[in-house]
Amino acid sequence: MRADELQERLVNWTVANSGHDERRHYIGLSGIGDCPRQIYDRYFQGQQASVDRHLLTRLSYEIESALVERLHQMGIYSESPVALAYDGLVQGHVDGITKDGDLIEIKTVALEDHIPERLPRRVYWQVQAYMHYLKCKRQDCRWTHVVYLARQSGLVKVIPVRYSPEMGGRVETKVLRLVVAVRDVARPECECGKCSANESANFVGDGDGVDLR
């Protein structure tokens, strides 16, 4: 087999098996912090990905899987139930749960410098939504540990997030508006002021678990 043929076949297989969902038939809680119009458009139009995006998505899932296996070997990891609402129209797929009931969300970034000191707004909304719909209001289920891993070095940093009933209420209100918009096929107004520019640039993707930097 020639080198160029091997490379082509490897890339093509990876793209076909990257784990990137071009179309999800539900409103994903991983991107609930985004502009309502972007969320609505993702639901109806899907999200195309470049070859580079497919390759990075596959790599990130493989790294995440390796980290989950590490947590398994430590004896502190269990699979989490899916967060569901509105008969499955709204879903959130949590990366895991600790033995004592805390949620785990894994994020990979390219470099150590890309690991945030404070949780980004988008991720904060995501994990608050997960906790809200998984009813994490008991004393033993009020936290999510967001695990950041730098792909370059393997450095790990864990940022804890406590469930906020106030944020849970804001998530619920936004989700309800989106459910109504989807069911009525009524595109919501842009709230970020960037939708026109993003549409012109063919902006797509919700970046679930992957930082492209």
Domain span at residue 186? 24-200
Whether residue 98 lies inside any domain: the answer is yes
Look up residue 173 and give its two tokens: 């209100």
More confident residue, 105 or 196: 105
The answer to whether the beta carbons of residues 177 and 170 sit under 8 Å apart is no
In terms of C-beta distances under 8 Å and separation of at least 24 residues, what long-range contacts does 155-158 make, across chains too?
155/112, 155/115, 156/67, 157/115
Other C-beta atoms closer than 10 Å to the C-beta of 139 total 6
Say yes or no to pLDDT of 137 above 70: no
| 207 in a structural domain | no
- 5-19 pLDDT, tens digit per residue, is 999 999 999 999 988
Q: What CATH number does residue 29 fall under?
A: 3.90.320.10
pLDDT at 209: 64
The tens digit of pLDDT for each residue in 158-192 reads 999 999 999 999 999 999 999 999 999 999 999 99
Whether residue 104 has pLDDT greater than 70: yes
Structural domain contains residue 12: no
Has residue 10 been placed in a domain? no
Checking if the pLDDT of 24 tops 70, the result is yes
What does the alpha-carbon distance between residue 210 and residue 167 come to, in Å, rounded to a whole number? Answer: 24
Q: Has residue 166 been placed in a domain? A: yes
Residue 105 lies in a domain: yes
Domain count, the chain: 1
Asked if residue 8 belongs to a domain, the reply is no
66 or 21, greater pLDDT = 66
For residue 211, name the pLDDT band (cuts at 50, 70, 90). low
Cα 12 from chain centroid (whole Å): 24
pLDDT band at 136 (very low <50, low <70, confident <90, very high): low
User: Does residue 205 fall inside a structural domain?
Assistant: no
Query: How far apart, in whole angstroms, are the C-alpha atoms of residue 101 and residue 77?
Result: 10
* pLDDT tier, 205 (very low <50, low <70, confident <90, very high otherwise): very low
> 140-166 burial by CB neighbour count: b if 16+ within 10 A, else e?
ebbbbbbbbbbbeeeeeeebebebeee
